[in-house]
A = this chain, B = another copy of it.
Amino acid sequence: MRIACMLFDGITALDVVGPYEVLQRLPGATVEFVARERGEVRTDNRFLGLVADRSFDEVVAADLLVVPGGFGTRALESDDRTLEWIRELDATTTWTTSVCTGSMLLAAAGLLRGKEATSHWASLPRLADYGAVPTARRVVEHGKVVTAAGVSSGIDMALVLAARIAGEDFAAGVQLAIEYDPQPPFDAGSPDKAPPHVVERLAARYAGRV
> Could you tell me which A residues sit within 8 Å of B by CB distance?
12-14, 17-18, 20-21, 24, 30-33, 40, 45, 47-51, 53, 100, 120-121, 138-139, 149-153, 155-156, 159-160, 163, 168-169, 171-173, 175-186, 188-191, 193-195, 198-199, 201-202
Contacts and interface: CB of A to CB of B under 8 A. Distances in A.
A201 B24 CA distance: 18
B191 A176 contact: yes
Contacts of A178: 14, 150-152, 189
Given A13-B17, A14-B17, A183 B50 contact: no
A163 B14 CA distance: 20
Contacts of A190: 176, 179, 181
Copies of the chain in the assembly? 2
Contacts of A40: 51
A172 B159 contact: no
Contacts of A198: 169, 172-173, 176
Contacts of A183: 138-139, 156
Contact of A194 (B12, B152, B176): B176
Contact of A156 (B120, B121, B163, B185): B185
Nearest to A121: B179
A50 B11 CA distance: 14
A50 B47 contact: no
Contacts of A13: 17, 20-21
Nearest to A153: B179
Given A163-B185, A168-B186, 20 more contacts: A30-B47, A31-B48, A33-B48, A48-B50, A138-B183, A150-B179, A152-B180, A155-B184, A156-B183, A159-B185, A169-B195, A171-B186, A172-B195, A173-B201, A175-B185, A176-B191, A176-B198, A176-B202, A179-B190, A181-B193
